[in-house]
Chain A
Amino acid sequence: MVRLPKWFIPTLYIVFLMLPIYGLLSMSFKTTNEILGGFSFFPQEFTLENYVKIFTDPTWYNGYINSLIYVVINTVISISVALPAAYAFSRYKFLGDKHLFFWLLTNRMAPPAVFALPFFQLYSAINLFDTHIAVALAHCLFNIPLAVWILEGFMSGIPKELDETAYLDGYSFWRFFLRIFVPTIAAGIGVAAFFCFMYSWVELLLAKTLTSVDAKPIAATMTRTASTSGYELGLLAAAGSLTLIPGAFVIYFVRNYIAKGFALGRV
């Protein structure tokens, strides 16, 4: 039997991962005529037309801005409310703590499709429909439990003596929390923020349901094009390619924390 070198499997896997992405990228540089004319591995008439369209047409580029706005708002809200809660779960016993924790996690298991319609009615009723904040708040449903879970894991790894020493030194709770504790678990916050960013960025069903024009995410703008199937495939491919960039950036910055965050077994 021939022994395969060890890098064979990961390489094959990465090639498998890259092929559809390559298909997308190569299509984004093709003209509509070329796409509809038949298959070609490399773009024959290399064009940036599709990208030019996206960067000049506000209905397109606003989509990116909208997405980034609600993703950032959501990440900030999720982390800032999850921090004290995670601290409470990791340090104190209180009435109903276990049930509360489990209940929080069940929200991570709620299928977004179940909530789509009620969310639409709820946010319409409080006049937040088609705003960034509506999407950001809705995404809290699954991102807050996640952030609490991840942060609680990191905090439990920090000895309680740290808190006790600080209180003995005369720190008040909030001063200790913000000045000492938060910097200590910076890595954990990074990991939690990564996952909040990720889930908010990739989710579409709720984001689409809660917006129409002003806060419409890029992903939803794309479905409009997709529904006119085949018509503007090049444009669709270019828009899709551009959505890879924020993700790639975020991964690059947290690459050393990813393994660590996963290692805690809290995702």
Chain B
Amino acid sequence: MNKTVNQKAWWLVTPVLVLVAFNAFIPLMTVVNYSLQETFGNNEFFWEGVTWFEQVLKSERFHASFLRQLLFTGMILVIEVPLGICVALTMPRKGPWVSVCLILMALPLLIPWNVVGAMWNIFALPDIGLLGYTLNSMGFDYNFTQQPVSAWMTTVVMDVWHWTSLVVLLCYAGLCSIPDDYYQAARIDGASPWAVFRYIQLPKLKRVLTIAILLRFMDSFMIYTEPFVLTGGGPGNTTTFLSIDLVKIALGQFDLGPAAAMSLIYFLIVLLICWAFYTIMMRNEEQ
């Protein structure tokens, strides 16, 4: 759409600017402030320069939680995206079942995150939870509070449970926007179901998939509440992701300097990856 140049439009965005800036700038400045200083309480601060940044970047603890975070985000993307596409492809397009499917599938998205954690905690309890009990009675040795592998699996499956529906809904909407003529043309051209998917459905899904992957990346990278309630980061540190580690340092140990430095590094990483991803996708689209 051709837009007209109008500097007065600034007035229309001012309320948004004020509210968001209030919430973003002041806290961000506070974080920057902490990250450069040392405090021993009593509101006394000493200039520390970039010491904290060096410390965080060199600390093995940060490397470990960063790696865990990458592994987790990678795993859930690899599972959720294909699964979401698969469910969206097989969902009904018309009739009363559409509403039923949409409502039931959207339900996990609207459950408060700590309830999700609590629900899975109850679900997976080895002796009295539905999942834990079933697995153990089938002969699997499963206890997510003690075995790192079980804890990891449970966390990943919980995220799949929680967020795959977002991918499904996005893909479903994308699929619904393909006119019937395309399918009819493919039938006339003798295309196999795979060819229909590869040359008609997948290209049309590209845009919504970009958004789905971007959103899932951002949100899983920031994940805090669900694994915190489910496992508390344990057993040991095995499910301590970046956010959990950050809160442990900031509120648990009250190491404000390192926590602030870590916050900024963390934020920059998210921004950088999103920006890179977005730019690559946009460039592909233009070609």
Contact = CB atoms under 8 A, between A and B. Distances in A.
Q: Do they bind each other?
A: yes
Interface of A: 6-10, 13-14, 16-24, 26-27, 35-36, 38-39, 41, 77, 81-82, 84-85, 87-95, 97, 100, 104, 106-119, 121-122, 137-138, 140-141, 144-145, 148, 156, 160, 198, 201-205, 218-220, 222-223, 226, 233, 236-237, 240, 243-244, 246-248, 250-252, 255-256, 258-263, 265-267
Given A7-B90, A24-B122, 12 more contacts: A14-B104, A20-B123, A88-B13, A108-B218, A111-B243, A113-B222, A203-B112, A243-B112, A247-B111, A258-B173, A262-B170, A267-B170
Contacts of B118: 222, 226, 236, 240
B103 A252 contact: yes
A81 B19 CA distance: 9
Nearest to A250: B110
B70 to A, nearest CB: 15
B56 to A, nearest CB: 13
A171 to B, nearest CB: 16
Nearest to A101: B13
B33 to A, nearest CB: 9
A169 to B, nearest CB: 19
A198 B109 contact: yes
A94 B6 contact: yes
Pick the 10 closest A-B CB pairs, nearest first.
Answer: A247-B110, A118-B27, A88-B12, A92-B9, A263-B173, A262-B173, A113-B243, A111-B222, A39-B133, A118-B30
A229 to B, nearest CB: 9
Given A39-B128, A122-B26, A262-B170, A20 B113 contact: no
Contact of A92 (B6, B164, B218): B6
A104 B177 CA distance: 29
Contact of B161 (A16, A35, A104, A222): A16
B110 A23 contact: no
B250 A116 contact: yes
23 contacts: A9-B87, A9-B90, A13-B83, A20-B161, A23-B122, A23-B131, A90-B3, A91-B4, A100-B13, A104-B16, A111-B221, A111-B242, A115-B23, A117-B259, A119-B27, A141-B24, A156-B1, A202-B109, A222-B118, A237-B122, A240-B119, A259-B172, A267-B215
Contacts of A24: 119, 122-123
Q: In this complex, which of B2, B91, B118, B222 has the most chain A Cβ atoms within 10 angstroms of its Cβ?
A: B118
Nearest to A95: B7
B99 interface: yes
A79 B174 CA distance: 26
Nearest to B172: A259
Given A111-B270, A262-B173, A94 B114 contact: no
B5 interface: yes
Q: In this complex, which of B16, B218, B229, B271 has the most chain A Cβ atoms within 10 angstroms of its Cβ?
A: B16
Contact of B31 (A81, A100, A118, A244): A118
Contacts of A110: 24, 267, 270
B30 A107 contact: no
Contact of A137 (B19, B87, B114): B19
B86 interface: yes
Classify the secondary structure of B's interface with A: helix
B133 A112 contact: no
B221 to A, nearest CB: 7
Contacts of B129: 23, 39
A49 B101 CA distance: 32
Interface string B162-180: 0011101110111011000
B27 A251 contact: no
A27 B111 contact: no
Contacts of B28: 118
B106 interface: yes
Nearest to B126: A39
B218 to A, nearest CB: 5
A192 to B, nearest CB: 13
Contacts of A119: 23, 27
B285 to A, nearest CB: 12
A145 B119 CA distance: 30
Nearest to A78: B19
A23 B130 contact: yes
Contacts of A255: 99, 102-103, 106
B90 A10 contact: yes
A267 B121 CA distance: 29
Contact of B229 (A97, A141, A226): A226
Contact of A90 (B1, B97, B101, B207): B1
B169 A265 contact: no
Contacts of A236: 118, 122
A115 B27 contact: yes
